[in-house]
Amino acid sequence: MMALFVLLFYRAASAFPLHVAARSDANITIPAGASNHGDPNLLCLPADWDDIAQFIVANYVTHAFTTTITSGTGILGVVYAVAKSLLFPIASAAY
């Protein structure tokens, strides 16, 4: 489960803008739709549908693992809380 989380996090993090050092002697080919938004040290690449889906899944799963657990809760209680949060996201909302 942790390996899946790390893989999803790495994949989602790779969609964030890439900062490159300014060099006047470097030529690179960028994909269509890339932009720097007026900042020569910034390169924003367009997001594919799988980048967006991975972000949503990673956000959903990390929400499940950040549920509030009381101290002294056993492993089964933690598993129950995480499963409940995955199936019913509003169930873990504190008010």
What confidence score (pLDDT) does residue 49 get?
92
Give the phi and the psi of residue 12 in degrees, each rounded to 5: -70, -40
Q: pLDDT, tens digit, for every residue of 2-28? A: 666 666 666 655 655 555 555 566 677
What confidence score (pLDDT) does residue 28 get?
74
What confidence score (pLDDT) does residue 11 get?
61
- pTM of this structure: 0.50
d(CA 7, CA 10): 5
DSSP structure class, residue 16: S
Burial 45-79 (b: 16+ CB within 10 A, else e): beeeeebeebbeebeebeebeebeeeeeeeeeeee
Return the SS3 of 89. helix
Q: pLDDT, tens digit, for every residue of 34-83? A: 888 888 888 888 888 999 999 998 988 888 888 878 888 899 988 888 88
